[in-house]
Amino acid sequence: MTTYHAVEVEGLQVFYRKAGNPDKPVVILLHGFPTASHMFRDLMPVLEKDYYLIAPDYPGFGHSSSPDRDHFQYTFDHITDIMEAFINELRLTKYALYVFDYGAPIGFRLAMRRPENVTAIISQNGNIYREGLGGKWAAREEYWRNPTPEKRDSYRIAFAPDTIRNQYVDGTKVNQVSPDGYTLDIAYMSRPGNDEKQLDLIFDYQTNVKLYPDFQKYLQEHQPPLLAVWGQNDISFIPEGAKAFKKDLPEASIHLFDSGHFALETHAKEIGELMLSFLKKVGV
């Protein structure tokens, strides 16, 4: 069964879910925006018999500490620092990484820092290629080049309840997505002060795109086993991002599902079963 914990990391409380036997191989599950570790609630039961699963909430997300911007820099580098310290605190030295959305730039930073620790990567709509960027990213890159206060304010729409709900249901069949996930995310995103923290991360996302060549070089040099499981109707990270892994990892396994950005909401069992088969095949 899944249990719920918190550990102090650099003065912050980092909440995490865990499941499975600590003697089994480790899989660290890294969530995206605007969600938290609850996105793995249906996946973990599929995997827990064979793997030891750890799913943290980042600072500013879910049930982890959400320090003021005056005392915490909301950047992807800094969140990676906290996740690295969290992994060290739990004394995890070998692990597969499941990376989704924001979890991809965080997970690939971790992998570059400690390539010897990473046994495999599962990327679920976790993009590291320019060909995987959907149409909305042109406007975002213009914002990064010319970051006016007005453009920053325009991204507050990302936290609107309808926007969050649409991230879940766009690209899925009618009545397939439970309201539980997006209702919880709406509550998380509406907490006082959270909007400015999230706007900081939207602006800092440019650092991830700049690191795409480095992430790709990591793949080329270390050739980690990789499974890409993608909601093919995602308009943020389009399927070309999944297919692009083959450029650097010819043996990568690519699977597209008739779903959207949050593919676990509709295909958790199928993705879990693919992961079990893949991880066994590559010896994890």
How many angstroms separate the CA atoms of 134 and 237, rounded? 6
| Nearest CA among 31, 176, 159, 36 for reference residue 101 | 31
State pLDDT tens for residues 216-244: 999 999 999 999 999 999 999 999 999 99
Kindly name the residue from 31, 38, 63, 261 that is annotated as catalytic: 261
pLDDT tens digits for 65-96? Answer: 999 999 999 999 999 999 999 999 999 999 99
pLDDT at position 194:
95
Residues sharing a CB contact under 8 Å with residue 66, sequence separation 6 or more, in sequence order: 59, 60, 191, 193, 194, 197
- What average pLDDT does the chain have? 97
- Residue type at position 6: A
pLDDT score, position 36: 98
Both tokens of 170, joined, read 């766009």
CB atoms within 10 A of CB 239: 18
Contact 127, 104 (CB under 8 A): yes
pLDDT (mean) for 147-175 = 96
Report the C-alpha gap between 237 and 239 in whole angstroms.
7
Q: Where are the domains of the chain?
A: 3-281
Residues 57, 16 contacting (CB under 8 angstroms) = yes
169-174: average pLDDT: 96
Task: Name residue, tokens 């990213």.
Answer: 137
Looking up tokens 């990376």, which residue turns up? 99
- pLDDT 10s digits, 20-42: 999 999 999 999 999 999 999 99
What band does 3 get if pLDDT is binned at 50, 70 and 90? very high
Q: Is residue 38 flagged as an active site residue?
A: no
Q: What is the pLDDT of residue 62?
A: 98
3-281 carries CATH number 3.40.50.1820: yes
